[in-house]
Structure 1
C-alpha cells in the first residue's frame, strides 16, 4: 500500500488569464516584505532575533516556489496562449528581479546586519551554511552595483532589464521555432526507412516529398545517413540558419553585457561571470581552452585525415566530385561510417536494442538501487497527457518520513516545446521556519523519437547517454539536503554543476549496465557481448574532432564575452569553427542564433562542460570504476557530492569524496592514454 506524501503534488491546471494575476500579486507581496526589511532600524538588523537574513531567504524561496512553475509553462505547454502568458509573466519576474537586486535600502540593511552580528560576538555561533548565506546575500548586492553612485545604479537597472528581455525573446524564438525543410525520396537515400516513415509526406509538382522538422530525431539522421552530400549540406545550412531571427538579439545582448561589466568595474563580462566560479577569471578560461586545444589538435588532425580518406574513397566509388575538403556536414556522416567499417557497428542496429519503454524504467531502476531510493508512478494533473509523474522515497521507507520529493518525465517532442534535453528545478528543498521540510520537485524534459508505424519508440545510444546525464541533475536536486533553498542541489558553481551528471554518463559504457538496460524490440534479447565490446570501443573513436567541437563552442563563447566591441559574429562563428574544429563551414551561416546556452545561463560559461569533465573523470575512476553498481559507493556519492549541494565550496566536496585534491590524470588518460601529461 502506497504511503501518502507529506507534501501534495503541485497542480498544473492554470489558465492563461491566471498567470499574470498570480505573478503581479506575488511581486506585490514580495515587495512589501522587502519594504519591511528595509525599514528596520539599522541597530535591529541581525540574524537571530529579527531573522533578517532568514526572512530574506524565506521570501526568495516563497517567491520562486510560485514563479518557477508558472515560468516553466513556456517550455512545455501545448497551449500557445499559456506559453505566451508564461513568457510575459517571466518578463515581469525578471524585471522585478532587477528592481529587487538594485534596492540600496535592502543592501544597507544586509550590511548593517552583518556588522551587528560580528560586533555582538554571535558570528561564531552561526553554522557554516548560515555564514555562507550572509556572505552570498551581501555579495549579490556588491555584484549588482549597489556600492555605485545613484546615476550608475539607475543605468544598470535599465540595462539589466533590457538584457533580460533580450534573453527571454531569444529563448522564446527557440521554443517556437517550427520550420521545415523539404526533400525528395531520392535526396533522402541512405536515411533509415523507419526515420523517413515518420516524416510528413505530401505531393509537390507531381512528386512525393517529405517535410522534415529541425527537431533532433528528424534532422540528425539526415546528417548521419544521407548519402548525397548536397542533401547534408542543405540540411545543415537550414539547421544552422533556422534561428537567424536571434542574430540581432545576441549582438545587442553582448553589447549590453559589455556596458554592464564596465559600469561594475570589470574588464570584461567573462571576468564578472567567472568571479564566482571555480576558475575565478576570464584569463583562466582562455588558458584552459588554449591548453586543451593544443593537446587535442594533433589528435584531431589525425582524425580528420582518416575521415577525409574515407570521403575520398566513397566519392570515387560513387562518381562524385572530390575537392579535398572536409566540411562540417561531412563530420557526422563519416564518423558514423568509420565506426561501422572499423568496428562493424551499425548505429541503427544498436538503436533497436533500446526501446524507450525498456530503457527508461531500467535507468530508473539502476539509479534507485545505486542511490537507495524508490520511484512510485502516480496519477495527477500534469502539463501534458504524455508526462509521467513520480513520488520519490527512501528505498526502505515505511512512513512519510522517507519522502524525498517529486519527479516528472516529459520525453517526447511536440509543437512549442523546448527542443533539446534539460532538467528544471521546479521547487528546491529547504527547511521551513516551522522546522518542517519543503521537498524538491524536478522535471526532466527530452525529445526522444516517437513510435513509427512499424517500430516502437527507440533511443539511439546517444539518447541513452543524454537521459542518464539529465537524470543525474534530477537526483542532484532530489537528494540534496540543505537548510536554505539558495544552496539546494544544482545551485553550485556553474563550472562544477555538470560534473556529477557527466560522471554518471560512464554507466552507459559499462558492459554489465549495457546488458541490463538493452532489450531488442523484437527478440527481447540484450546486446550481445560482441556488440557491447564494439560499442564501448566506439566511445573514443575520433575523440580529437569530437572534443575540438566542444572547444569551438567554448572559445566562441569566451571570445565574444572578452572582446571590447561588436563584430560580425556570423563570420566569427564560421572562422572559429574552421580553425578549431578542423572542418570547412562552406558559406557562413548564422549558427550563433542557435547557441541557446549563450543566453540561457551559460554566458562566459560554456567552458564549464569541458572543465567539469576533469572532475567527472576523476570521481568515476577513483570511486566507481571498480564496481559502478555498488550501493555503498552510491551512498558515498550521495552523501558527499549530492547532499551538500552548494552549501560548501565545491572543492571541499570533491576532496571529501575523493579523499584528496582532484587532478586531471583520469581525464587525460581517457583521451590520450596513460602516458598523457597531467598539466591541464
Structure 2
C-alpha cells in the first residue's frame, strides 16, 4: 500500500489572507456566471443534463470549505478575519442564488421536461430533483417580488449575525484567577498547566475557559466559592453574544412569517425526521416527565453528600444544590459509591496511545487503513492521513483524507467537532471525487511531570467524533448534496452516539488503555467501576440536555418571550433541578448550537439517542468489534448518507423499523415504556 499514490491530491494550506479574499471573490463570480447561464436557458432546453444542479454545488463546496475552515484553526488573526469575511460573502452569495426566480424556474422546467420525456431517473436523482424544488419553495420563490426581496435582506442580516456569534465564540480568551489555596483538590498536573503571574505580592493562577482548564476545576475544586466564581465567569464569558442572539431570534421570526410558517421551529422541522415543532414539544415534555423523578432522586443523593462534606469542612449548608455543585458532587458520588477515582483512570489514557488504538479499532471494524502522511497542513501539531480500503491494491481503493487537530491553542475552535471539508461525489466523467474530513479537539497537553493524558470522557468523545469522520469518509453517494453526514439533522448524531458505546465495552477499554508509567491496561475491577458509573446520576445529566433542547425550541416557538437571559436561567433551574447564580447571567451567549446549525434542532441529540440505542442493542451489542457487523453498518448507514430516507437506512440495518425500547431500557430498565415520537 505504501507504493500507492492517492488519485486525488490533498488540500493545500498555505493561503494568505489576500489569497482567501481573492479566491472567494473569483469563485463567487464564476458561480454567478454559471447560474446566469442556467437562468437564461429556454424552457425546452432545461433538462437534468443541461442544469449543473449537482456539479456546481459540489465544485463550489470543494473549493470554498477549506478556505472558510481557517476561521476555526488558524493561528493568524488576519487569516481568521479573512475567512470570516469570506464566509459572509459566500453566505450572501448563497442566499442570492437561492432567491433567483429564473434559476428556480429552470429547475421547474427541467422537472416538467424529465416527466414529459419519460426519462427514468435513479432513486438518488429523483431525490435530488425533489429536494431542489422543495428548497425553492422554502426559499420563498413563490412569494411576490417585494416580499422576496425583503426575505433576501433578512436572510443576509441573519447570516452576518451568525458569523459574528461564531467568531466571538472561537476568539473568546477570558480567564478567572485564583490563589493556589483556592485550587485545593484540582489535580496537580492540571494546576501546573495554568498560567502563573505575580500580583500585589501574591501568586495567582489564571484559569482559561477552555475545557481542559475549567472542567477539572468544576469537578475537583473543594472550595464552593472557587467553583461559584469559576462557573459565573464561565456563564458570562460570551455576554457579547446575548444581544446578537436576540437579533437572530427576531430575524428568524420575521423570516418564518414571510414564508408562511407559524414559527421558525415549524419551518426548520419540516425537513427533519420529527416533521413538526409540535412533535418536538411532545417528545421533550414526555421525556421530561419520565426523567424528572429520576433527577429528583439524583439531586437528593448529591445533596446528602454536600451536607456531609460541608459539615466536615465547616462550610455553611443551605439545603440547595447549585449549578457549580453538580459536576463536583457527581464525581464525588461516583468516587465514593464505586470507589472510582477519575484521576487514576486518566493515568491509563495517554493521548499517544489512545488515539492510535481508537483509530485501529475503527480500521478493523470498517476494513479501512489510515496511513500517516508528512507535509502540508495548517499547524505543526496536525496529523494528516490518507485513508484506503484495508487491502488496497489500486488507486481506486482510495477512500479520502483525514486530519486530526487535537490540542488547544489560542483562538482555535474550543470544543470537539468534525468538519467535512471536501465532499465525495461522482464526477460527470464517471470517476469519483474523494472526501476530506478534519477532526478538531482540545485534549490536555503534556506537562513537565506527565505526558498528555485523556479523561475517560475524552475517550468516549473521541469515539463519537471519529464516528462523524468515518461517516464523511465512507459515504458513497452520486451527489455531494447527500454525502456523509448530509442527513436529516435529527439523525446526524445517531451513528456517532451509537459508537460511544465502544468506550464502555470491557474488551475495548482493555485494548485502548495503557498506564503512562507501567504500560499496564486498565485492571478489570477499574473497568467494571467505570461501566457501572455510566448511568449514575443519569437523570440529572439528561435533564441538563433537556434544558438546552427546551430553551432552543421555546425561543423558536414562543412569540412573547423577550428576556432571553431570564428565560435561560429560569428554565435551567426548573428543568435541570439546580440553582443558578443570584443575578441572571447570559449563558445563552455561549450556546453555540443555536447559531451554528442546530437552531430549533437541539432536541435532535436526545431524539437520535433513540436510534443510536436501537442500532447498538440490536446489531452490535453481541459482538461490537466484529468486522462483519461493521461491514453491515458501513453498507446500510454510512454508504448511503442522505441519498435515501433515514428510516429506510435504519430499517435495512435493523431488519425492522426502529423503536424506543432499547433507549428506555438503557435509561429506566423499562423497555415497555416509549417516550419517543417516532
TM-score normalised by length of structure 2: 0.99
Aligned partner of 1:136 in structure 2 is: 131
Report the Cα distance in structure 2 between the residues aligned to 1:119 and 1:286, rounded to whole angstroms.
43
SS of equivalent to 1:602: coil
Aligned partner of 1:45 in structure 2 is: 46
After superposing the two structures, state which structure 1 stretch, 564-573 or 445-454, moved more: 564-573
Report the Cα distance in structure 2 between the residues aligned to 1:676 and 1:239, rounded to whole angstroms.
40
Aligned partner of 1:382 in structure 2 is: 377
Q: Give 5+ residue unaligned stretches, structure 1.
A: none
Report the Cα distance in structure 1 between the residues aligned to 2:600 and 2:530, rounded to whole angstroms.
34
Report the Cα distance in structure 1 between the residues aligned to 2:155 and 2:560, rounded to whole angstroms.
18
Structure 1 counterpart of 2:519, from 503, 518, 524: 524
Q: How does 1:557-636 map to 2 (within 5 A)?
A: 557-587=552-582, 588-636=584-632
Report the Cα distance in structure 1 between the residues aligned to 2:246 and 2:661, rounded to whole angstroms.
39
Report the Cα distance in structure 2 between the residues aligned to 1:307 and 1:180, rounded to whole angstroms.
28
Structure 2 counterpart of 1:62, from 59, 63, 76: 59
Q: How does 1:433-452 map to 2 (within 5 A)?
A: 433-452=428-447
Aligned partner of 1:211 in structure 2 is: 206
Q: CA deviation at 1:139?
A: 0.9
Aligned partner of 2:358 in structure 1 is: 363
Report the Cα distance in structure 2 between the residues aligned to 1:676 and 1:341, rounded to whole angstroms.
33
Structure 2 counterpart of 1:419, from 408, 414, 434: 414
Any conservation in 2 of the 1:255–1:566 contact (CA below 8 Å)? no
Any conservation in 2 of the 1:597–1:603 contact (CA below 8 Å)? yes
Any conservation in 2 of the 1:464–1:508 contact (CA below 8 Å)? yes
Report the Cα distance in structure 2 between the residues aligned to 1:415 and 1:325, rounded to whole angstroms.
37
Report the Cα distance in structure 2 between the residues aligned to 1:676 and 1:331, rounded to whole angstroms.
31
Any conservation in 1 of the 2:426–2:479 contact (CA below 8 Å)? yes
Residue 186 in 1 paired to residue 181 in 2? yes
Any conservation in 2 of the 1:254–1:566 contact (CA below 8 Å)? no
Residue 400 in 1 paired to residue 395 in 2? yes
Report the Cα distance in structure 1 between the residues aligned to 2:572 and 2:3, rounded to whole angstroms.
54
Any conservation in 2 of the 1:255–1:565 contact (CA below 8 Å)? no
Residue 156 in 1 paired to residue 157 in 2? no
Report the Cα distance in structure 2 between the residues aligned to 1:553 and 1:218, rounded to whole angstroms.
23
Residue 86 in 1 paired to residue 83 in 2? yes
Q: CA deviation at 1:565?
A: 3.9
Aligned partner of 2:72 in structure 1 is: 75
Aligned partner of 2:240 in structure 1 is: 245
Report the Cα distance in structure 1 between the residues aligned to 2:178 and 2:672, rounded to whole angstroms.
46
Change (3 A) 1:276 1:599: same
SS of equivalent to 2:196: strand
Q: CA deviation at 1:513?
A: 0.1
Q: CA deviation at 1:398?
A: 1.4
Q: CA deviation at 1:2?
A: 3.1
Aligned partner of 2:292 in structure 1 is: 297
Structure 1 counterpart of 2:98, from 84, 96, 101: 101
Report the Cα distance in structure 2 between the residues aligned to 1:110 and 1:16, rounded to whole angstroms.
36
Residue 330 in 1 paired to residue 331 in 2? no
Residue 503 in 1 paired to residue 529 in 2? no
Report the Cα distance in structure 2 between the residues aligned to 1:118 and 1:199, rounded to whole angstroms.
66
Aligned partner of 1:21 in structure 2 is: 22
Q: CA deviation at 1:566?
A: 4.6
Aligned partner of 2:4 in structure 1 is: 3
Change (3 A) 1:679 1:179: closer
Aligned partner of 2:468 in structure 1 is: 473
Any conservation in 1 of the 2:544–2:576 contact (CA below 8 Å)? yes
Q: CA deviation at 1:676?
A: 4.9
Report the Cα distance in structure 2 between the residues aligned to 1:537 and 1:423, rounded to whole angstroms.
29
SS of equivalent to 2:193: coil
Any conservation in 1 of the 2:287–2:675 contact (CA below 8 Å)? no
Q: CA deviation at 1:180?
A: 1.3
Any conservation in 2 of the 1:251–1:566 contact (CA below 8 Å)? no
Structure 1 counterpart of 2:269, from 263, 274, 292: 274
Q: CA deviation at 1:678?
A: 2.3
Any conservation in 1 of the 2:383–2:404 contact (CA below 8 Å)? yes
SS of equivalent to 1:187: helix
Q: CA deviation at 1:675?
A: 5.3
Report the Cα distance in structure 2 between the residues aligned to 1:276 and 1:570, rounded to whole angstroms.
29
Residue 650 in 1 paired to residue 646 in 2? yes
After superposing the two structures, state which structure 1 stretch, 244-253 or 586-595, moved more: 586-595
TM-score normalised by length of structure 1: 0.99
Superposition RMSD in Å: 0.7
User: Could you report, residue by residue, the CA deviation over 1:341-393 in whole angstroms, capped at 9, with x for unpaired residues?
Assistant: 00000011100100000000000000000000000000121010100000000
Q: CA deviation at 1:254?
A: 0.2
Aligned partner of 1:666 in structure 2 is: 662
Any conservation in 1 of the 2:661–2:671 contact (CA below 8 Å)? no
User: Could you report, residue by residue, the CA deviation over 1:566-597 in whole angstroms, capped at 9, with x for unpaired residues?
Assistant: 51111100100111000001221110000000
